[in-house]
């Protein structure tokens, strides 16, 4: 009989392209993943992987096994969720993947209370980009993902995932207190034409939103410096090297040198979303964690404007 644990390992290798990456996603050692795949090959009597360069890819038999087996794994997952629902048990291992500001400003504040209230629940947390998070949940390598969606910047979510909106987060323009813009109560993108920006790398959702925010001005934002971390953005603004657009959730203390100014027309707003597989919908562990995240007070709602809420963050999201 085909071993389901080995099936999960093979699917992870397919999703990540290597045994090492699959092991990292599953929380196993590469040796353990290799042994699971070899066990599966012995069970079916066919090679399932072939080496390509430094990575591996599925053979024709491996592809058939993963494609057909994924439906079986989904059915088993739904069966397990239903059993837990009947037992009303908040227990088991739950992998939660999120972008960094959500990890700090949303998940960390509730994780301890969740684990204390439900001793049978084991949470495994990891930080990833929203696109990676959606992929991990979609392919069964994470049970819950927390992502963000900015305005009309697309975030593709497969049909077999369920989306729950947790919060709405707003970003402010951060400037040095000596900057002329620091004296304004609010600014529009037209006010920001010609300003030097500290921004996240090209290709990130935040960078895409910054570009779209300038639509209608006839200009693109002038990117002076690029950094993955919002804490670094604050340091560069504090040094007088430019301005930055930083969400409120998880933002570090601004201190006396920095000022948060509201941006309007449009207001930079992102939806904070949780995603999970439809087959996990009956799981008490999933519904309990989602309820805790949705009920968590968003520090960004406590204030706005020039001083703004002040928390901590990274911008790889």
Phi-psi map region of 74: left, alpha, beta (phi>0 left; psi -120 to 50 alpha): alpha
3-state class of 107 per DSSP? Answer: helix
Question: What integer pLDDT is reported at residue 303 of this predicted model?
Answer: 37
Question: What integer pLDDT is reported at residue 309 of this predicted model?
Answer: 39
Average pLDDT on 170-179 reads: 97
Structure tokens at 115: 């684990």
CB 261 within 8 A of CB 255: no
Continuous segment of H or E residues that includes residue 96: strand 92-98
Distance CA 43, CA 114 (A): 40
Average pLDDT on 190-194 reads: 96
Does residue 200 register a pLDDT over 80? yes
Quote the crossing angle between the two packed helices 284-295 and 108-117, to the nearest 10°.
140
Q: Over the stretch 38-91, which tens digit does the pLDDT of each residue have?
A: 888 888 888 888 887 777 888 888 888 888 777 776 666 666 666 555 556 787
Average pLDDT on 127-154 reads: 88
For residue 98, which phi and psi values (nearest 5 degrees)? -155, 165
Please provide the DSSP assignment of 248-315 as one string.
Answer: STTPPP-TTTEEEEEE-SS--EEEEEEEEEGGGTT-HHHHHHHHHHHHS--GGGG--TTT--------
Question: Could you say which DSSP state residue 228 is in?
Answer: S
Distance CA 249, CA 240 (A): 23
Does residue 244 register a pLDDT over 70? yes
Phi-psi map region of 17: left, alpha, beta (phi>0 left; psi -120 to 50 alpha): left
Going from the N-terminus, what domains does the chain have, and what CATH number goes with each?
A: 4-84 (1.10.10.10), 90-317 (3.40.190.290)
Question: What integer pLDDT is reported at residue 305 of this predicted model?
Answer: 37
Does residue 278 register a pLDDT over 90? no
Give the rounded percent of residues in the chain with a pLDDT score beyond 70.
Answer: 88
As a whole number, the mean pLDDT across the chain is 85
Give the rounded percent of residues in the chain with a pLDDT score beyond 90.
Answer: 48
Sign of the alpha-carbon dihedral angle for 106, 109, 110, 114: positive
Taking the model in full, what pTM does it have?
0.70
Closest CA to 19 of 45, 57, 53: 57
Query: 168 CB contacts (<8 Å, ≥6 apart)?
Result: 269, 270, 271, 272
Closest CA to 288 of 103, 122, 97, 90: 90
Q: Over the stretch 84-130, which tens digit does the pLDDT of each residue have?
A: 555 567 878 899 999 988 998 899 989 999 999 999 999 999 998 89
Q: Alpha helix (H) ranges present in the chain?
A: 4-16, 19-26, 30-44, 60-87, 100-102, 108-117, 130-138, 205-213, 230-238, 284-295
Q: In Å, how far are 171, 189, 190 from 215, measured between CA atoms?
A: 17, 8, 10
């Amino acid at each position: 009989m085909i071993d389901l644990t080995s099936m999960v390992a093979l699917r992870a290798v397919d999703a990540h392209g290597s045994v090492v990456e699959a092991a990292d996603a599953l929380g196993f050692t590469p040796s353990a993943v290799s042994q699971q795949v070899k066990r599966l090959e012995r069970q079916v009597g066919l090679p399932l992987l072939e080496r390509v360069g430094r990575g591996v890819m599925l053979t024709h038999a491996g592809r058939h096994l993963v494609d057909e087996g994924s439906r079986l794994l989904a059915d088993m997952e739904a069966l397990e969720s239903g059993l837990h629902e009947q037992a009303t048990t908040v227990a088991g291992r739950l992998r939660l993947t999120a972008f960094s500001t959500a990890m700090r400003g949303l998940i960390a504040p509730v994780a301890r209370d969740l684990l204390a209230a439900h001793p049978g629940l084991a949470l495994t947390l990891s930080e990833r980009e929203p696109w990676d998070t959606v992929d991990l949940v979609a392919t069964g390598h994470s049970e819950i993902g927390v992502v963000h969606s900015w305005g009309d910047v697309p975030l593709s979510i497969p049909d077999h995932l369920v989306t729950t909106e947790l919060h709405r987060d707003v970003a402010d323009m951060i400037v040095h207190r000596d900057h002329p813009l620091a004296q304004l109560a609010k600014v529009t993108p037209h006010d920001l034409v010609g300003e030097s920006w500290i921004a996240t790398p090209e290709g990130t959702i935040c960078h895409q939103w910054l570009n779209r925010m300038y639509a209608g001005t006839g200009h693109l934002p002038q990117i002076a410096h690029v950094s993955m971390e919002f804490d670094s953005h604050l340091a560069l603004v504090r040094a007088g090297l430019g301005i930055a657009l930083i969400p409120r959730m998880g933002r570090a203390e601004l201190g006396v040198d920095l000022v948060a100014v509201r941006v309007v027309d449009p207001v930079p707003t992102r939806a904070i979303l949780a995603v999970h597989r439809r087959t996990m919908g009956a799981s008490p562990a999933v519904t309990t964690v989602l309820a805790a995240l949705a009920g968590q007070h968003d520090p960004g709602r406590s204030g706005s404007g020039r001083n703004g809420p002040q928390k901590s963050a990274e911008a790889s999201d």
